[in-house]
Each structure stands twice: as structure tokens, then as C-alpha cells.
């Protein structure tokens, strides 16, 4: 590979972690909001229907790469429980916002992330490409953690309509960065979405194991990566940001 001129980053479990406690709080918020909106669902029955609906939609997403959204899962779960309501209903939109409220105070940066991005942004064009169903929530987290100022472009799958590893999202990243694939690195924690997706687009991937290797807390959802997926042995792996800086130094001098 030629010396990189741009670096793309994944967001969750790459730059940012979310405390596992957020998930239960989010579901509590969702149930409370549904009750306030006139849907007196029983918590466990709704949660089971919600998870089943999410799994169905995510299976379709795996087939064609099209992004899904929580509003579809909520509407499908309500229908399963005998309350048919369109996914576009404003009441559903309000319950989605209530769900994600739990994640904002529970999101935190990996140690040294601001310092890393500050150093890199003076040398490289930086891009962010995140799989996230609800873009307003992703932007809330980004703004709260003071991240947008470092990036030349920020791409959220919910805005793009497709999610990693679909090639469309990586092509969009390259277009926004204004660099050819062989001048870009992509750093992410997901063996399929980040590593294979980047490699299929001609971008050199870097697998980050920073969260696991440093023992940092991380929420696990239906959208969490398949950690058992095979990663080619020639893909660089990092456990700390110092590893990435050393890798970049080697790329520049190699």
C-alpha cells in the first residue's frame, strides 16, 4: 500500500463505548414512553415481540445491505400484540427518541481518543463511517463527546440507507474523503462490517481490539459484531492507540 493520506474510523467500540447498563434503561424508557403514548403493553411480552421483529428485519438487512430502523421493530411488535399502528406514526417516533435517551449519558470515549484524533487530524483527512439505525442519536453522541471537529466527513448508515459491509457506503466514504482506496486505512472492530467491507472496497483495514484487550465496558445488542468471524492473518490488529500510531509510522516509512 502507498502511504495513507486518509483514515476512516468506525464509531462504536472503536472510538466510543456504551455502558452495558444503558440497554436495560433504554428498554425501560421505551416501555414507559409506549404507555404514555397510549399503548399499555406488558414489558416482557413487548420485549420478546420487539426482539423477534428486530431479528426478522436484520435478516433482511443481511441479504441486501439496506439499513433498517427501530421504528419498524416497534410497530411490528405492537402489531404482534394486537395494536396495529404505522411505523411513521409520530407516537412511534417519540418512543424511539425515548429509547435512545438512555445511551447519551452512558457513552464515553476510549482513553486517549481526543489526543489521537487531534494528532492525526493535522496529518490526514479523517472520516467516520458508522452503522447506526437512528442518525439523530448518533449525532447526539458525537456532539456530546466533541468528535465532529476532527472529521472531514461523518457518515451514518441510517442516512445513507445502507450499512457496512455494503460497498456503497465505502464508496461514499472514499468520495467524501477525496482519496483513492489505496491511500486510505479503515479502523474498526467488526470483522465483517469493517474489515471485510473495507477490504472488498480496496481499502486496507485495521482491526481494533482496544475495547476487549483493555477490558473496557461495552453494551452488546442484536447489532453487535460477530466476534467469531474469521479475520485474515495479514490484517493489522491494534490493542491501544499507540499501536495505530506505530503502524502509521511504519506505513509512512515503508
Residues 96 and 113 in one domain: no
- pTM for the complete prediction? 0.94
Q: Is the pLDDT of residue 230 over 90?
A: no
pLDDT 10s digits, 56-102: 999 999 999 999 999 999 999 999 999 999 999 999 999 999 999 99
Q: Map grid coordinates 436495560 to a residue.
A: 24
DSSP 49-110: HHHHHHHHHHHHHHHH-B---HHHHHHHHHHHTT----TT-HHHHHHHHHHHHTTTTTEEEP
Residues 46 and 136 in one domain: no
Distance CA 201, CA 203 (A): 6
> Which domain-ending residue is among 49, 66, 101?
101
Residues 141 and 81 in one domain: no
Is 122 inside any structural domain? yes
- The model's confidence at residue 250, banded by pLDDT at 50, 70 and 90, is confident
Report pLDDT for 2.
79
How many domains does one find in the chain?
A: 2
Residues 15 and 31 in one domain: no
* Averaged pLDDT for residues 136-157: 98
Is 1 inside any structural domain? no
CA distance from start to end of the chain: 9
Q: Map grid coordinates 506505530 to a residue.
A: 246
* Averaged pLDDT for residues 2-21: 96
DSSP character at residue 220: -
3-state secondary structure of 162: strand
Name the average pLDDT for the chain.
Answer: 95
- Domain interval for residue 201: 6-19+106-253
Residues 128 and 224 in one domain: yes
For residues 70 and 134, is the Cβ–Cβ distance under 8 A? yes
Report pLDDT for 252.
62
Distance CA 212, CA 117 (A): 21
Q: Is the pLDDT of residue 1 over 90?
A: no
Residues 48 and 90 in one domain: yes
Amino acid at each position: 500500500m502507498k502511504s495513507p493520506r486518509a483514515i476512516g474510523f468506525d464509531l462504536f467500540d472503536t472510538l466510543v463505548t456504551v455502558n452495558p447498563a444503558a440497554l436495560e434503561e433504554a428498554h425501560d424508557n421505551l416501555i414507559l414512553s409506549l404507555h404514555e403514548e397510549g399503548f399499555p403493553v406488558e414489558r416482557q411480552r413487548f420485549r420478546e415481540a420487539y426482539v423477534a421483529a428486530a431479528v426478522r428485519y436484520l435478516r433482511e438487512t443481511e441479504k441486501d445491505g439496506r439499513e433498517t430502523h427501530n421504528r419498524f421493530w416497534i410497530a411490528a411488535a405492537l402489531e404482534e400484540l394486537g395494536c396495529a399502528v404505522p411505523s411513521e406514526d409520530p407516537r412511534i417516533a417519540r418512543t424511539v427518541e425515548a429509547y435512545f435517551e438512555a445511551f447519551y449519558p452512558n457513552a464515553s470515549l476510549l482513553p486517549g481518543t481526543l489526543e489521537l484524533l487531534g494528532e492525526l487530524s493535522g496529518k490526514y483527512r479523517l472520516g467516520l463511517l458508522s452503522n447506526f439505525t437512528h442518525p439523530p442519536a448518533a449525532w447526539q453522541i458525537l456532539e456530546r463527546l466533541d468528535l465532529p471537529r476532527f472529521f472531514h466527513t461523518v457518515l451514518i448508515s441510517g442516512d445513507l440507507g445502507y450499512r457496512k459491509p455494503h460497498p456503497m457506503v465505502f464508496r461514499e466514504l472514499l468520495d467524501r474523503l477525496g482519496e483513492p482506496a489505496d491511500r486510505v486505512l479503515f479502523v474498526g472492530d467488526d470483522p465483517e462490517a469493517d474489515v471485510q467491507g473495507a477490504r472488498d472496497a480496496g481499502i486496507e483495514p485495521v482491526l481494533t481490539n482496544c475495547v476487549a484487550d483493555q477490558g473496557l465496558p461495552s453494551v452488546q445488542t442484536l447489532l453487535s459484531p460477530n466476534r467469531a468471524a474469521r479475520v485474515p492473518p495479514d490484517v493489522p490488529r491494534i490493542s491501544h492507540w499507540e499501536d495505530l500510531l506505530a503502524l502509521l509510522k511504519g506505513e509512512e516509512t515503508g
